[in-house]
Amino acid sequence: MSDAAKALATTAGDRESGCALATAVSLAPGDTFYSELHGEEQKHTSCTLCGAHAERLLFEVEDTMFGRPGKYRLVECQQCSMRYINPRPTTPALARHYPNDYLCYTNFDHEHWLLRWAFNRMQQDQARRRVRQIERVTGRLPQGTTVLDVGCGRGELLRRLKNDRQTLGTGIDINRDVVDVLRRESGIPVLHGTLCEVGCESASFDLVTLTEYLEHEPHPRPVIEEVRRIIKPGGFVAIEVPDISGPPGRWFGPNWWQIDAPRHLTYFSPKTLTQLLESSGFEVLQVKRYSMLTSMGYSLLQAMGHRYCNSPKLLYLTLSALLGLPFVPFLSFLPDFMMVVARPRQAAHLALPPQHDRA
C-alpha cells in the first residue's frame, strides 16, 4: 500500500465515514495499515471462502458490545456471496477485543446473582441442546468417544459430554485464564492456542465440535482443513454458527445482535458453510436452523438505539428476553443460528464401511 493511500485510510476516510477505509482507497489483499480512529493495525483480505477480490459493501457496523470507536465494513463476495468484515484487525490487534468479561469467557462472578443464575442456566440448556442436535445425526455417543472442542471457552459442552456420555474430551482455547480455570476445575485436558498452532495428531478424534467459534476465525478454511486432517475416518464435525441469511439477519442488518464486530469476522449462511465444508472434503449430513429467546429482543433493542456497552447488563439482558417473549410461538420461523453436522467424504476407491453404526 502506498504512503498516500495509507494517509487517506487513516485521515479523511476515517473522519468522514467512521470507517477504516474510504472507498476511494484501493487496497490489495494482504495490505496492512494503521487506523488511527480504531487505534489498531488492520488488514485487507480477499474472500475467505473462494479467494476472489470482488466485494460489495453491505453496510458499516460498530462494536456495540464494548463500544470501541470506529466502524467496520461488512462486505459480500460477488463470486460466492460469503459475507465478512474487510478490512479487519490484524491477528495481534484482535487480542484486545477479547477481554475476560466477553460473554464466552465470563460466568458473571461479579454481577447480580440473578444474572449469574440466568446465564449459567442458559449455558447448561445450550449444552444439552447441542448434544441433542449432534446425536440426531451421530446417534447416542458411546462411552470413550474422543471429542475435541475448538474454542471451548468455559467448557460447558465438554463437561456435559463427560458427565452424560463419559466421553474423552479435549479443549482448545486462546484465552490463557479460561484454559487454566477449566483444567483446574474439570480435569479436562485443555490446549492453549489455536487449532492450527497446537498440532494434533492426524485421525485422532471421533468428534470435533466448533460451537460459536468459526465466525471468529479470520480464515475459516485452514481451520476446516485442519479438522479434516485430525478427524478419524467415520468421525463427525459439528459446527454451530450464526446464520445471517435468516429473517433476523435480513431484517435488522447492522443491528442484528450477532453482528458483534469485530469479534465476528465471517457471517455464514447454510449455502456458504456447506460450500466451505464440501470443498474441504466433507459430506454435510444435517443443517439444523433455530433461534434463541433473545434473538429478536436483543436486535430490537439495538435497532431502537440501545447499546449493551452503555447499559447495565442485567437490565439489558432482561429487557431483551422480555421483548423476545411475544416471538416465542414463532421462533421456528425466525432462525438465526444453525448447527451443521458433517463427516469426512471417503474417496470412492477408499470407501470403507462405517466404523460404528450410530444411527
User: Whose Cβ is closer to Zn ion: residue 51's or residue 354's?
Assistant: 51
Of the residues 27, 49, 172, 284, which one makes contact with Zn ion according to CB under 5 A: 49
Here's the x/- map for Zn ion, 86-115, by CB under 5 A: it reads as ------------------------------
Q: Which residue has the cell 434463541?
A: 292
User: Whose Cβ is closer to Zn ion: residue 47's or residue 182's?
Assistant: 47
Smallest separation (angstroms) from Zn ion to the CB of 10: 27
For the record, the C-alpha cell of 288 comes out as: 439444523
Smallest separation (angstroms) from Zn ion to the CB of 323: 35
Smallest separation (angstroms) from Zn ion to the CB of 275: 9
- Residue 75 CA to residue 60 CA, distance in Å, equals 9
For the record, the C-alpha cell of 123 comes out as: 449455558
Among 334, 244, 260, which residue's Cα sits nearest to residue 291? 334
Smallest separation (angstroms) from Zn ion to the CB of 271: 11
Smallest separation (angstroms) from Zn ion to the CB of 215: 16
Q: Could you say which residues in the range 62-81 bind Zn ion, by CB under 5 A? A: 77, 79-80
User: Whose Cβ is closer to Zn ion: residue 209's or residue 245's?
Assistant: 245
For the record, the C-alpha cell of 75 comes out as: 462486505
User: Whose Cβ is closer to Zn ion: residue 23's or residue 78's?
Assistant: 78
Q: Which stretch binds Zn ion (CB under 5 A): 49-57, 140-148, 191-199, 246-254?
A: 49-57
Size of the site for Zn ion (CB under 5 A): 8
HSE-up of residue 103 (Cα within 13 Å, Cβ side): 17
Of the residues 9, 47, 150, 178, which one makes contact with Zn ion according to CB under 5 A: 47
* Strand pairing report for 205-211 and 146-150: parallel
Residue 235 identity? G
User: Residue 154: is it exposed, middle or buried by C-beta count within 10 angstroms (0-12/13-18/19+)?
Assistant: buried
Smallest separation (angstroms) from Zn ion to the CB of 264: 17
Smallest separation (angstroms) from Zn ion to the CB of 337: 22
Q: Could you say which residues in the range 190-219 bind Zn ion, by CB under 5 A? A: none
**Is the CB of residue 207 less than 8 Å from the CB of residue 235?**
yes
User: Whose Cβ is closer to Zn ion: residue 17's or residue 279's?
Assistant: 279
User: Whose Cβ is closer to Zn ion: residue 50's or residue 103's?
Assistant: 50
CA-based angle 118:119:122, to the nearest 5?
A: 85
Continuous H helices in 139-174 = 156-165
Residue 22 identity? A
Query: Considering the rule CB under 5 A, would residue 82 count as an interface residue with Zn ion?
Result: yes
**Is the CB of residue 180 less than 8 Å from the CB of residue 204?**
no
- Residue 51 CA to residue 84 CA, distance in Å, equals 12
Smallest separation (angstroms) from Zn ion to the CB of 251: 24
**Is the CB of residue 341 less than 8 Å from the CB of residue 237?**
yes
User: Whose Cβ is closer to Zn ion: residue 112's or residue 219's?
Assistant: 219
Which residues of this protein are in contact with Zn ion, per CB under 5 A? 47, 49-50, 52, 77, 79-80, 82
